[in-house]
Amino acid sequence: MTSPRRLRLRRPLTLALAALFGAWACERGPEPVGEVPAEEALVVLDFQGVEVRVVVDTLARAMGRSVIYEKGAEGRVTVITPRPVPLDTAYAVVESSLRAAGLDLVERPDGVLAVRPSQTKRATVPDPARPETRDLFSQARLLPVWRDGRMVGIRVTAIESGGFFAGLGLEEGDVITEANGIRVESPERSAEVLLELAEARVLEVTIDREGETRSLRLDDVGR
What sign for the dihedral angle of Cα 99, 103, 107, 111?
negative
Give bridge partners of residue 141 from the DSSP assignment. Answer: 157
Check residue 30 and give its pLDDT.
Answer: 36
Check residue 144 and give its pLDDT.
Answer: 83
Mean pLDDT of the chain: 75
Check residue 45 and give its pLDDT.
Answer: 83
DSSP state of 160: P
Contacts of 199 (CB under 8 A, 6+ apart): 126
CB atoms within 10 A of CB 36: 17
How confident is residue 70, by pLDDT bands cut at 50, 70 and 90? very high
Instruction: Tell me the C-alpha distance between 93 and 73, whole Å.
Output: 18
Residue burial 171-204, b: 16+ Cβ < 10 Å; e: rest: eeebbbbbbeeeebebbbbbbbbbbbbbeeeebe
Check residue 142 and give its pLDDT.
Answer: 84
Query: Would you say 99 and 78 are in contact if contact means Cβ atoms under 8 Å apart?
Result: no
CATH topology of domain 131-218: Pdz3 Domain (2.30.42)
Integer angstrom CA distances of residue 176 from 66, 119, 197, 216, 218:
37, 29, 11, 10, 14
CATH number, span 6-117? 3.55.50.30
Give the best-scoring range by mean pLDDT among 31-40, 144-153, 201-210: 201-210
Report pLDDT digits (tens) over 6-49: 343 443 322 222 334 443 223 223 333 333 344 456 788 888 88
Counting runs of H as helices and runs of E as strands, what totals does the chain give? 5, 13
- 52 or 89, which is more confident: 52
- 83 or 22, which is more confident: 83
Query: Would you say 179 and 199 are in contact if contact means Cβ atoms under 8 Å apart?
Result: no
How is 112-139 classified by DSSP, letter by letter?
A: -EEEEE-SSPPPP---TTSHHHHHHTTS
Check residue 115 and give its pLDDT.
Answer: 95
**Entry field: residues in the chain:** 223
Q: Please determine, for residue 93, whether its predicted confidence score (pLDDT) is greater than 50.
A: yes
Report pLDDT digits (tens) over 110-140: 999 999 998 765 555 555 545 555 567 778 8
Same fold: 6-117 with 131-218: no
Q: Given the DSSP bridges, would you call strands 141-147 and 150-157 parallel, antiparallel or unpaired?
A: antiparallel
| Alpha helix ranges (H) inside the chain | 52-63, 87-100, 131-136, 164-167, 187-199
In 3-state terms, what secondary structure has residue 14? Answer: coil
The radius of gyration of the chain's CA atoms, rounded to the nearest angstrom, is 18
Domain residue spans of the chain = 6-117, 131-218
